Amino acid sequence: MKKQEFTLHFLASELGATLIGESMSEVCGISTLQSAQSNEISFLANPAYEKFLTETQATAVILSPDMAEKYQAVLSDKVILVHNNPYLAYAQISHFWDKPTMKVVGPAYISNSACIHPSAKISANVYISEGVIISAGAIVHKGAVIGPNCVIGEDSIVGMNSLLHANVTLYHGVTIGDNCILHSGVVIGSDGFGFAPDKKQWIKIAQIGGVVIEDDVEIGANTAIDRGALDNTLIERGVKLDNQIQIAHNVRVGQNTVMAACCAVAGSTTIGKNCVIGGASGIAGHLTIVDNVHITAMTMVIKNLKEPGIYSSGTGVQPNAKWRKSIARLRQLDKMAARLKVLEKKLTSHN
């Protein structure tokens, strides 16, 4: 299928960018500087890729004002779109060439193989795919798209224009807000990990809370969010979660926080607004992290973070031989500290 073409004048207008060059030239895709073809547009957002700017085959490039001024003469055969934030511009126009897997067109579509309880409320103009199960008391709002083999549990709600890709499972009492995207394999509302010790066995604690996902949230493939033990687990508006993340019971994730793949957040922890959590990080339970915290990849958080800023733990990668020496020295720190105290006392007594 031929990709749709857009004039650079149109794209610049959509972005609020300034055009330098032929405005009526057309492009049919967006790509990296390295791989772009002569009928595509590209962008420079990371200085590490500046070296590819003069070699790109792209018809047009999106540059910051500084880069545009620096390279305008060199790129005289290109069209330049000047934008204050080239990465944001890329994000915005990428949707022009996106290929949605499912969409609602016209009247509601409900597959004959879908199993919908008579008490469920299905709004107009929804798309319900093959093999979907919608349980008693569930509500699916206008414009929602439910992919193949999804399960929506009792009294759960799917908001307007939200998209559930194939094989998403919502347990009972889950609320999904408007304009959310849940990718394949997501499980919302499974039991939290709650057990009380009784001599030589563990007694399960009933997880009687729910999960609330607010508007404009995106959740990556195979991510799991547990229901609350008593109160709801809450994912606030605008949160973006990557693939294979574990959010435990009664966690609260603040507005516009983003979390990269393979993170785990233990129960009853509160994460503030506008935080960035790097991949494979672990956050212990019953903690509070304030707004505007950036946690770098593979960090272990075991105490409250009370001030905004960047936090890290662990050690950077080294050749194995150097790492082994570093670990050997680390194990000697207690002895070294004790010897240092002895030397300090001797120096003090001499003075």
Q: What is the pLDDT at residue 76?
A: 92
Task: Confirm whether 249 is a catalytic residue.
Answer: yes
pLDDT tens-place string over residues 148-182 = 999 999 999 999 999 999 999 999 999 999 999 99
pLDDT tens-place string over residues 287-302 = 999 999 999 999 999 9
Q: What is the pLDDT at residue 246?
A: 98
Identify whether the C-beta of residue 181 lies closer than 8 Å to the C-beta of residue 163: yes
Residue 242 has pLDDT above 80, yes or no: yes
pLDDT tens-place string over residues 31-69 = 999 999 999 999 999 999 999 999 999 999 999 999 999
Q: What is the pLDDT at residue 232?
A: 97
pLDDT tens-place string over residues 10-26 = 999 999 999 999 889 99
Structural domain boundaries in the chain: 6-97, 109-311, 320-350
Rounded mean pLDDT, 211-225: 98
Amino acid at 311: Y
Confidence of residue 105 (pLDDT cuts 50, 70, 90): very low
pLDDT tens-place string over residues 187-200 = 999 999 999 999 99
pLDDT tens-place string over residues 128-150 = 999 999 999 999 999 999 999 99
Rounded mean pLDDT, 84-98: 95
Q: What is the pLDDT at residue 102?
A: 60
Residue 104 has pLDDT above 50, yes or no: no
What is the chain's mean pLDDT, rounded?
94
The number of angstroms, rounded, from the C-alpha of 47 to the middle of its chain's C-alpha atoms is 24
Identify whether the C-beta of residue 269 lies closer than 8 Å to the C-beta of residue 290: no
CATH 3.20.20.70 fits 109-311, yes or no: no
Residue 2 has pLDDT above 80, yes or no: no
Do 6-97 and 109-311 come out as alike in CATH topology? Answer: no
Q: What is the pLDDT at residue 103?
A: 55
For 6-97, the fitting CATH number among 3.40.50.1970, 3.90.1170.50, 3.40.1390.10, 3.30.1330.10 is 3.40.1390.10
Q: What is the pLDDT at residue 101?
A: 61
Provide the sign of the torsion angle of the four alpha carbons 28, 31, 36, 42, taken in this order. Answer: positive
Three-state secondary structure readout of 202-269:
EEECCCCCCEEECCCCEECCCCEEECCCCCCEEECCCCEECCCCEECCCCEECCCCEECCCCEECCCC
Q: Which of 83, 165, 183, 249 is catalytic?
A: 249
| Token code pair at residue 157 | 């709600």
Residue 108 has pLDDT above 90, yes or no: no
